[in-house]
Structure formats: structure tokens, C-alpha cells
Amino acid sequence: MAIPVLDLDSDHIAKELVEAVIKYGFVFIRNRGDVIRPTDLLPAFAMSRSLFATPMQEKEKYKITSNNRGWSSPYTETLDPGQRKADYKEAFNFAEFRDGHAQQPLPPVIVRDEARLGRFASLCHDLCMKLLRLLAQGLEIGERDGGKEWFASRHDPSLGPSGSILRFLYYPSTRSVPDFDREQDVRAGAHTDYGSLTLLFQTKNQPGLEVLIPCYDDDDDDVDRAKRRRQWIPVPTNPPPTERDPDPPILVNVGDLLCFWTDGLFPSVVHRVVVPPSPPAAADEKKEEDDRDPESESESESYRAAHDDDESQKSDHGPDLARYSIAYFCHPADSTHLERVPSRRVHTHRIRGSGDEGDVVAGMVAPTKAITAGKHLTRRLAETYGWKEGS
């Protein structure tokens, strides 16, 4: 029961992507340095580490506000209203860049890298557009109805602002938190993502992400039955066959809006970040070292140089080591009206009863109510931060 690992060079990638998303809502995209290059990814992680290493009083100057930009401190967000306490993590949100320039104040430690940061955000957006076109192609949307551009056209920057966010994430070690209960507390509460697609970039040997995934039996591949039998599973950073790749694969998941557009055919799956239960076995680490592909050795050295400079990483390979990740949340233009995709496959799914008219899908308002992408995002952010809508 593993999240599929796909290669964008596959001859049947559109079909493979759609089938994987329907079953799991998550998919790995293999990255051998050809999807997002190490020369773009590694500096982004280096910026993240520098940013979170700055003093709290400096980061407070960029505290997140209702425009969803800036820094959030530990215990600021409550992604799961049922959790004992708020999320133990830090995050920094960057809104859309225009011509390589941020549309918000940047901390001094990363100001000099503004253009590089903007380029990375642009690469993430371009990858999302490619994936959205593949999904539309796999759904066989007719050319008269928009064809493979059906999703992508709604994410055109010329339509106006969107809620797209590049987010640096830092989960500090829980060792120094005396009241952190590993049995009850989490680093990020159970939630779905608010936009269309999410890209997640992880670092090797920093696990913790879990997904509430459908359970398929060996002799029963029925999607609807599997979705009624779900369980939490840990998500590896380097699933087979990517163990020797220079970078971990990119984890892609469906957000609320794609779930809404497809009437639940593409599920927006609940996920969370926890303190992993046990460290990697020393034997497994040695095997990974022995199995490393010589051709990727130089890239791996660069990777370790960028990711192993945290002192807790050097001294501790235990379960409560720090975790760094980078997420890109792709959203359509705020003014986009949410409507069902004109796809026979979506229509057939609805006829089967999986997306009845009055249902609430992934925390969204019932499909009978008109809503825009911007209004949906405003409502979800208000729930997360305790803000008043429209504030």
C-alpha cells in the first residue's frame, strides 16, 4: 500500500497520473535533477535554514497577517480543531512574485537572494501547470470545453492575483519541549490543502509526514470501498526506487479545489506531520551509503552539504530531530468560479453516487452554493488562524 512513484518521461504519464491520483490523492514525481535542478532546490533549502536560524525578535517583524504572507511562530496555526494544542512548527509564506520581485517585505538574511527565490517559485508554478495539463488530458476533457488547458487556464497570472504560496517549513526538535506529548501532540495537525495542487520538497532522513490513505485489498481494487477503509501510513522521503537518486522525489497531492472540480473523483486526502516513532536503523543507513550510485555522488555531496549543517542533525539521528521541508501551494486566480469539470469520467463518478449534490467535499461548502477560489481560501485561513473572514 504505497504511494506511486511516477516518471514524467513515461509514454503514458497522463493516464498513470490520473489513476494514481484517483486511488491515493498523492503521488511521487521522480526527480533526478531534471524536474527541479539541484542548483535551484539546494539554495532554497539553504535560505530556509538561514531564515529560521535568525532570532525570534527579528522574525516577529514579519509576522503573518490575514493576507497569508510572512512568518508564523510555533503554536500559531491550528490545522486540526480537535488537536490538544496548536501546531509545533515555524513557517514563512511568500506570496506570488512579479518579474522576480517579492510583493512583501523580506528579512535581511534572504534579501540578496530575492531573484533566486522568485525563480524557484516560478519553476514550481511551471511544474504545477504541467501536471494540471496532464490531469486534464487524462480526464479526456473535450477540446471544445477547454481540453488540456481546462485547469491551467484558470491559473493564468494575467487573470489577477491568486492564493499561490511558496512556504518554508521548519519543525524544531521536540527534545527541549517539556510538555510535548508524542502520543497526543503533532507538528502539523490533520488537514487537507486548500488549493489545486501542492508540491512538497523533503530532505533525506527527515520523516514525519503521514497520510490517511485508502486501504486496498489484494483481491479488491474498488476505489469507493477502499476510501471507506482508511488508515494512517508514514510517507518515506526516498521510496523505492529513488533511494540512490540525488534528490528525494517531489510529493504531489490534490487540494480542495481539484477535489471540488472533479466532484471527489480526485480526493483531497487528510495528512499530518508527527514525530516519527523510531530512527532509521544504522544498518539501513550503511546500506544506502554502499548502494549510492557513483554517477550521482557529486550531487549527493552537494545535497549533504546543504542539508547537514544543522547541529541537531549532526549529533542526533533520533526520532525528534528537526525537519525542514518546502511546500508550494498552487491556487487558481481568486476570481475563479468553482464548477465541475466537463469530463465524462467525472460525470460517471457522480452518477455512481460518490459525489451527491448536497455533500461537503474536503471541507468545502456544498456544491449547490456558488463560491470563488478566493472566498474558499479566505474561509479556510480564518479557520486555521482564528481570523475573522474579511479582516
In this structure, of 30-34, 77-81, 332-336, 357-361, the range with the lowest mean pLDDT score is 357-361
Per-residue confidence (pLDDT) for residue 286, from 0 to 100: 46
| Cβ pair 96, 103 in contact under 8 A | yes
Per-residue confidence (pLDDT) for residue 367, from 0 to 100: 42
Supply 236's cell numbers. 518515506
Residues 200, 110: Cα–Cα separation, whole Å: 21
Q: Check whether 87 has a pLDDT greater than 70.
A: yes
pTM of the model: 0.85
> Which residues touch 178 (CB under 8 Å, ≥6 apart)?
none
Q: Read off the pLDDT band of 355 (50, 70, 90).
A: very low
**Sheet arrangement for strand 209-214:** 188-191, 271-273, 209-214, 230-234
| Cβ pair 262, 136 in contact under 8 A | no
Q: Check whether 152 has a pLDDT greater than 80.
A: yes
Name residue, grid cell 471540488. Answer: 260
| Cβ pair 58, 107 in contact under 8 A | yes
Residues 34, 160: Cα–Cα separation, whole Å: 30
